[in-house]
Amino acid sequence: MSQFRALVGALRGGRAGGSWWLRGSVGARSRCYLDPSRGCSSEAVPSAVASSSSYVEEMYFAWLEDHKSVHKSWDTFFRNIQASSPSGEAGKPRPSALLQGRVQSLSPDTTEKVVEDHLAVHTLIRAYQIRGHHVAQLDPLGILEADLDSFVPSDLITSLDKLGFYGLHESDLDRSFQLPPTSFIGGGNTTLPLREIIRRLETSYCGHIGVEFMFINNVSQCQWIRQKIETPGIMQFTNTEKRTLLARLIRSTRFEDFLARKWSSEKRFGLEGCEVLIPALKTIIDKSSASGIDSVIMGMPHRGRLNVLANVIRKELDQIFCQFDPKLEAADEGSGDVKYHLGMFHERINRETDQNIMLSLMANPSHLEAVDPVVQGKAKAEQFYRGDTEGNKVMSILIHGDAAFAGQGVVYETFHLSELPSYTTHGTIHVVVNNQIGFTTDPRVARSSPYPTDVARVVNAPIFHVNADDPEAVMYVCRVAAEWRATFNKDVVIDLVSYRRFGHNEMDEPMFTQPLMYKQIRRQEHVLKKYSDRLIAEGMVTLQEFEEEVAKYDKICEEAYTSSKDEKISHNRHWLDSPWPGFFTTEGEPKSMSCVPTGLDEETLQHIGQTASSVPLEDFRIHPGVSRILRSRAELVKNRQMDWALGEYMAFGSLLKEGIHVRLSGQDVERGTFSHRHHVLHDQEVDKRICVPMNHLWAHQAPYTVCNSSLSEYGVLGFELGFAMASPNALVLWEAQFGDFHNTAQCIIDQFISSGQAKWVRNNGIVLLLPHGMEGMGPEHSSARPERFLQMSNDDPDHFPELSGDFEVQQLSDCNWIVVNCSTPANYCHVIRRQIMLPFRKPLIIFTPKSLLRHPDARSGFDELAEGTKFNRLIPDQGPAAEDPAQVKRVIFCTGKVYYELAKERKQQKLEKDVAIVRLEQISPFPFDLVRVQTEKYANAELVWCQEEHKNMGYYDYVRPRLLTVVANKKPVWYVGRDPAAATATGTKSTHLNELKRFMDTAFNLSAFQGRNL
């Protein structure tokens, strides 16, 4: 207030408050009272210029000539002065006082009051805009506060005595006040009596809609929302809209009723208490379709999912009902999933807009919110492949539970992707089914934030809380949210404050834990009843029409129920959320069971090599260190050699040539954590000028996307998984900064990557690059935990497979994922190319090197990538041992970097004839066929598995039983490596080296296992 007092003092011509700044700018002002763009204040009376009496005089003269020639705030100011002048003078202009520069002679106390009161009213309006939602009537039960707090902000006028907070009195209620340009409550009026101002603010901000938006730091976005919320009478619905809403509410409600009647003791996670979700989603889709969206990708949890499938996506009802039949048999391979996890894809005509629209609901696991980034990735990919750079065609909707939205960190990670250039989907509409409970847990112990939606504030998303028992308020909010997304391409949240009529699922008793809430819920009238009564009372529909509509839908359900009994077999394929037309046969099978060789012609190798060693843009100044790297690459290319980075270049570059989009995402992937990649070059003199040589390879190549991600694993890996779902003709790779960090994305790995195809018959070719290796870097930064991936591999350890047809491809087709650890750049390139050449898609896990990136021995010649060559699942010994295998005493099987340590030690110990070293490059599925060739070749040798990881980690537990199966348990398999341990690696360098020495000694101590029994 002190600034305001200073201002008033200045207006009176005094020096109150010492407001030098008020006096400073006066001289520069010219005569322009209306046009803010010319530098005039567009604000109300309080302004720096207000201190100048000559300025006031000028304005006063102008106002006398034409009231409209001054800003409306001055207009009100002069009118108020006139109105409050002594009786008899009211209405008469009093220029003399102003002309003489004696503003104070106009009754200074009056002037001060007028200004202060205006400021107070403007502050009051702002208070409602900021805090009105705290007192909005959001809870349909009327027992809980949606913000978990019953406080009433002191600056909201909930009783007349609170006017005193602003220095106002009851007597001011009928005085008119100028409205600020930041309010729309006036409609066509620029002034309103205080009483009406408060009434309208309450209607806008404290009714069934509570909106949080004043934290948005963009004025035009705030203005947009104010206009949508404050404009009197803006929440209007036509008769047709009301009838449509009623019809949708009937479907939603009667669907749940039908399931409850038919399968009373089956879990279905009913929507009762928030039936309005269905009309809400349909309104969002209608409005989005009207603004040009033709593909909507949705993700949602258990609650109301069957209803969404039936009434939003429009899955055939009999297909849903037959899922309740315990005798239903699965037609497809795989384990399938419970009905409330399945996904769906459907193309249909939107009845409201007559436009085609594709709707997909992504399959998801129980893990709440895990599907969020996956949906975003899929939406981004669809936008990318369709050239929808603004998100005007494809959009995503995410539906959340209140407890999960607040509690699950992946929600936050997903929000943080929402505005990143390579991850944005240009606005997601979030809908929270806020039934004010999570399983048995009350919100007050489930979150520390007032609302479950506060997480959305980090991205400045507006949040509309709405009482779900007011269907029209919900529809209005959905309409505004869809318009917001279409206008600003930013996220928005709708919080459907509702209740859960029954227990968490249909078997649960909620009275155990929430007795009072559920007593109230039992008394709560159903929303359909309330709304239909209202429309009947308004004469919008008759009771008979309503009953007919209900009967019509019940009949549809009954008929579908009857036909569902004919369904004896369930096809998981019919629940596919991301079909790939043309990639498979019409039966959904791979078109072949073979894979073409993955080698490349010399010209391609040379061309890629040269591009990788150069800067394709003119006048582009790179860092001398990068120059050095490019020069050494050029040298390698000249010698027809490649290191790891070049091998990767060959893989990506050649696929781009073949029209395959390549996308590499992860933390610091553009340069590469180990500074070996440099796929994005930075001009050292022009800020943000970059060059991606990979995009300068060929005239008609596919695009290459390489993007540093946010510092997230769960969110980003989920996103890339979703991206890889959209098309089989893309290579999508996610690289962990260090392999071990993948464990913060474990849910994506376990629930989607490892088991996705088994559950949802959905192929996915995502590639995980996981830097791995024991190099003395400590317990973290060492192990990508191969044991975890191998433990989830589905090939049978105890069964030697039948070697028929193209065994390699057949085995890949049967497995759930492929796990490799390549020891050469050429093999790395081959396995990446094979990923795309296969007639199906499987996730590929690659343990990638760190020190090997620069190891002089870890290089490949161009010949290893020549035409006709292919990925080596196993690299046999190629030295003296291989020439005289009968003399070999020990064959060491290993994988990855330890090979180079073993080879060096063998050489030092001059045991090259005695010990053969065989590299497993593909660990899973286990190359039974190739391993058997080796064990037969070295028939007299001991079998050793050597790894640098601890015994309870790494590959040992996976490899050992399979090696034993290969030799039919006729020989032992000896272990060489680090002892079992709790941590993945020691934190002490010397211990690391001692351990290495110890197991190297054992590896080449040919009597180490003599006399030992297993």
Ligand X SMILES: Cc1ncc(C[n+]2csc(CCOP(=O)(O)OP(=O)(O)O)c2C)c(N)n1
Query: What's the closest the beta carbon of residue 241 comes to ligand X, in angstroms?
Result: 28
User: Could you give the CA distance from residue 159 to residue 390 in angstroms, rounded to a whole number?
Assistant: 47
Nearest CB to Mg ion, comparing residues 435 and 737 = 435
CA distance 787 to 805: 30
Judged by beta carbon, residue 403 or residue 726, the one nearer Mg ion is 403
Least gap, CB of 857 to ligand X (angstroms)? 45
Query: Which residue is at the shortest CB distance from ligand X?
Result: 401
Number of Cβ within a 10 Å radius of residue 635:
11
Which residue from 858, 857, 862 is spatially nearest to 849, judged by alpha carbons? 858
Q: Which of 726, 664, 729 has its CA nearest to residue 695?
A: 664
Beta pairing class for 463-467 and 492-497 = parallel
Q: Distance between terminal CA atoms of the chain?
A: 86
**720 part of the interface to Mg ion, by CB under 5 A:** no
439 binds, among ligand X, Mg ion, none (CB under 5 to 8 A by kind): ligand X
Cβ distance to Mg ion smaller for residue 403 or 473:
403
State which residue, 453 or 924, has the beta carbon closest to ligand X.
453
Assess 453 for contact with Mg ion (CB under 5 A): no
Of these partners, Mg ion, ligand X, none, which one is at the site of residue 368 (CB under 5 to 8 Å by kind)?
Answer: ligand X
Taking the least distance from each CB to Mg ion, the nearer of 8 and 463 is: 463
**Is residue 491 involved in binding Mg ion (CB under 5 A)?**
no
Strand 844-848 relative to strand 767-771, pairing: parallel
Q: How far is the CB of 261 from ligand X (least distance, A)?
A: 22
Do residues 599 and 865 make contact, with C-beta atoms less than 8 angstroms apart?
Answer: yes
> Measured between alpha carbons, how far is 52 from 60 in angstroms, rounded to an integer?
12
Residue closer to ligand X by CB (options 55, 760) is 760
Among 402, 469, 877, 905, binds Mg ion (CB under 5 A): 402
CA-to-CA separations, 742 to 711, 718, 734, in angstroms, rounded: 12, 11, 10
Residue count at the site for Mg ion (CB under 5 A)? 6
Which span (173-181, 427-435, 889-897, 1004-1012) binds Mg ion, by CB under 5 A? Answer: 427-435
Q: Return the C-alpha torsion angle 71, 75, 78, 84, nearest 10.
A: -140
Retrieve residue 953's tokens: 């980690």
Interface residue with Mg ion among 391, 401, 666, 672 (CB under 5 A) is: 401
Q: 401 vs 693, which CB is nearer to Mg ion?
A: 401
CA distance 317 to 556: 9
Q: How far is the CB of 437 from Mg ion (least distance, A)?
A: 5
Q: Smallest distance, Å, CB 368 to ligand X?
A: 4
> What gap in Å lies between CA 310 and CA 324, rounded to an integer?
14
- DSSP letter string, 591-658: S-S------B-HHHHHHHHHHHTS--STT----HHHHHHHHHHHHHHHTTEE-HHHHHHHHHHHHHHT
For the segment 808-837, give every residue that binds Mg ion (CB under 5 A): none
Q: What does the alpha-carbon distance between residue 816 and residue 972 come to, in Å, rounded to a whole number? A: 29
| In contact, 882 and 917? CB cutoff 8 Å | no
Distance in Å, CB of 274 to Mg ion, minimum: 9
Cα–Cα distance measured from residue 965 to residue 920, given in angstroms and rounded to the nearest whole number: 16
User: What is the closest distance, in whole angstroms, from the C-beta atom of residue 435 to ligand X in the complex?
Assistant: 5
Among positions 435, 498, 811, 934, the unique one binding Mg ion when judged by CB under 5 A = 435
Q: Which residues contact 994 (CB under 8 A, 6 or more apart)?
A: none
Angstrom CA distances, 470 to 305, 435, 484, 508, 714, stand at: 22, 15, 21, 27, 37
CB of 44 to ligand X, least distance (A): 45
In the complex, minimum distance from the CB of residue 370 to Mg ion, in angstroms, rounded to a whole number: 17
- The residue among 436 and 763 lying less far from Mg ion, judged by its C-beta, is 436
Our CB check for ligand X shows the closer of 368 and 681 to be: 368
User: Closest Cα partner for 445 from 513, 372, 522?
Assistant: 513
CB of 398 to Mg ion, least distance (A): 15
- Closest C-alpha to 309, from 281, 273, 349: 281
Among the candidate windows 423-431, 434-442, 635-643, 942-950, which touches Mg ion by CB under 5 A? 434-442
Q: Which is nearer to ligand X, 127 or 274 (CB)?
A: 274
Judged by beta carbon distances under 5 to 8 A according to partner kind, the member of Mg ion, ligand X, none in contact with residue 756 is: none
List contacts with ligand X (CB under 6 A): 303, 366-368, 401-404, 433, 435, 437-439, 500, 504
Query: Contact between 270 and Mg ion (CB under 5 A)?
Result: no
Query: Which of residues 437 and 496 has its CB atom nearest to Mg ion in the complex?
Result: 437
DSSP string for residues in 33-78 = SS-GGGT---SSS-SGGGG-HHHHHHHHHHHHH-GGGS-HHHHHHH
Q: Which stretch binds Mg ion (CB under 5 A): 352-360, 394-402, 950-958, 970-978?
A: 394-402
Interaction of residue 498 with Mg ion, rule CB under 5 A: no
- Compute the least distance from the CB of residue 395 to ligand X, in Å: 23
Q: Which does 664 bind (CB under 5 to 8 A by kind): ligand X, Mg ion, none?
A: none
The contact set with Mg ion (CB under 5 A) reads 401-403, 435, 437-438
